[in-house]
Structure 1
Amino acid sequence: MYRVQGAGGGKASSGGGATAALARMFSRKRSSGVRKVHAVKGVSFTAYRGEAIGLIGSNGSGKSTLLRAVAGLLPPESGTVYTAGQPSLLGVNAALMNDLSGERNVVLGCLAMGMPPEQVREKYDDILEFSGINEKGEFGSLPMRTYSSGMAARLRFAIAAAKSHDVLMIDEALATGDAGFRKRSEARIRELQEKAGTVFLVSHSNKSIRDTCDRVLWLEHGELIMDGPTDEVVTAYQEFNKKK
């Protein structure tokens, strides 16, 4: 659950311009237009080591919110998340520094994940090769702000996948890139799974889910509709969409 400011009536929330924003910012009164949004409601499940779990559902169904809660980035207002080990969330909007080069971001990203410098040096070339950012020129030396969204997403995935994680959560990272990169990514997820980590994958690609995951959680409007084997849940989800 999260709060939306200015969602109701009232003088302070009647406008959307800079003046109205400043009025809300400096107002001593608590806004009467605060609305609570239940992004995820009553979702309960247990994930085990070695599982690759897909999250599917319509846009706005709560998939990304659920991952952020598991990662500890969005503390739930009710309920509890228990994790064994350190969860790591990889999304297409994962924070890297746009003014730094891709090569520099590889080093900083690996250090931020807790990898010692000698391991960073060992993995450095493999990360750049896996991401493919230098396949059509030396983009690795250019600032990340010059990258396409697909190039940036590939680099984020390559950095996160360089380390074995207790719990790795991937938010739409496989939706970008060509078929060759998706194939490499899916193979890497299987490697992580074999090393006893737990993988969560949010994707609108049913093929990626089928190729990667052995279990699927289906969410709609923040509620867990179905939890079970991949083929069973994805088939039910596809039938649901046909009836819309």
Structure 2
Amino acid sequence: MTAVREPKISLSDVTLVHTNEERRQENVAVEDLTLDINEGEFLCVVGPSGCGKSTLLSAIAGFMKPRLGTVTMNGRKIDKPGADRGVVFQEYALLPWKTVLDNVAIGLRYRGVPKAEREKTAREYLAMARLSEAADKYPHELSGGMRQRVAVARTLANTPEIMMMDEPFAAVDAQTRLTLQEELLRVWASNPITVLFITHSVEEAVFLADRVAVLTPGPGRLRSVVDIDIPREDRHWDTISNTPRFVELRDHVMKLVRDPSR
């Protein structure tokens, strides 16, 4: 008998609420949501503005606790942030007074890794992100796309079990965004950890994901999960955008996002 593997992340009947203490108001961001994220998969979450996508990421990261339901990782309840979960935000959050190398190595430094070892590890991840030549530069000397690649390298250098990305490419221009998407898939192929990727872009989600989870308008509930069966080797923007299967999946997910029904 084959053993049933537990999902990497499991959300069960989760309701997430934002509280404004000053105004004594509560806003239900996510309601009664159940979703599994499997080991090693690339899951994208899309939905209308205000549907709770980023709030969902915050709960998995351990930044907030559910009002109802449970969030678990490897079968254990998540109740605080941990090094096993890395987060890449839209803002690069790089330390401007430190070099690129030191920014990538900073998590290793906090964990007490010896200097020689952390620099070696940081250089390996910079090479993976094609940033070796930028190791001694400072963040202000880099383009927005390069800064975001540094943020990804920094997260991966800490060897998390899951990398969570919250609209990481939203602040760059359209052409750079396409390049970063391809670069992310290339880096992920050589370091295939579990990824949760939050985005407003349906095209981006279909291009990147193994599965796309679609949330309803807020409070967010799970509307549908769509399997993306496009082979990884075919995911290049110069060839994929007009292929029938990509167009079919993109249009299907877009209809789910735009569907006003609950």
Q: Tell me the TM-score normalized by structure 2.
A: 0.67
Partner of 2:187: 188
Contact 2:214 2:256 in 1 (8 A): no
Give the distance between the partners of 2:113 and 2:252, measured in 1 at CA.
41
- Deviation of the 1:2 alpha carbon: 1.1
Give the distance between the partners of 2:199 and 2:186, measured in 1 at CA.
16
- Deviation of the 1:45 alpha carbon: 1.2
- Deviation of the 1:116 alpha carbon: 5.8
Structure 1 residues 114 and 44: CA distance shift in structure 2, 3 A? farther
Pick from 123, 126, 141: which aligns with 1:125?
123
- Deviation of the 1:243 alpha carbon: 6.8
Q: Does 1:103 align with 2:101?
A: yes
The structure with the larger Rg is 1
- Residue by residue, what CA displacement relative to the aligned partner does 1:101-154 show, whole Å, maximum 9, x if unpaired? 32321221343477664542223334344555676xx68432x35655433322
Give the distance between the partners of 2:156 and 2:126, measured in 1 at CA.
12
SS at match of 2:125: helix
Identity within the alignment, %: 24
SS at match of 2:196: strand
Give the distance between the partners of 1:114 and 1:78, measured in 2 at CA.
37
SS at match of 1:156: helix
Contact 2:223 2:256 in 1 (8 A): no
Pick from 25, 35, 46: which aligns with 2:25?
35
Give the distance between the partners of 1:60 and 1:164, measured in 2 at CA.
31
Contact 1:55 1:218 in 2 (8 A): yes
Contact 1:96 1:105 in 2 (8 A): yes
Partner of 1:168: 163
Partner of 2:255: 239
Which structure: greater strand fraction?
A: 2
Unmatched segments (≥5 aa) in structure 2: 1-16, 77-83, 230-247
Give 1:1-244 correspondences, 5 Å limit.
1-5=17-21, 31=22, 33-84=23-74, 86-93=84-91, 95-112=93-110, 117-131=115-129, 140-142=136-138, 144=139, 147-175=142-170, 176=172, 177=176, 179-193=178-192, 197-220=193-216, 221=218, 222-230=220-228, 234-240=250-256
Which amino acid letter does the alignment assign opposite residue 72 of structure 1?
Answer: G
Which structure: greater helix fraction?
A: 1
Partner of 2:243: none
Deviates most, 175-184 or 79-88: 175-184
Which amino acid letter does the alignment assign opposite residue 210 of structure 1?
Answer: V
Deviates most, 148-157 or 62-71: 148-157
Which amino acid letter does the alignment assign opposite residue 45 of structure 1?
Answer: L
Runs of 4+ aligned structure 1 residues displaced above 6 Å come to none
Give the distance between the partners of 1:128 and 1:59, measured in 2 at CA.
34
Contact 1:92 1:171 in 2 (8 A): yes
Cα RMSD (Å)? 3.1
- Deviation of the 1:158 alpha carbon: 1.8
Give the distance between the partners of 1:217 and 1:58, measured in 2 at CA.
12
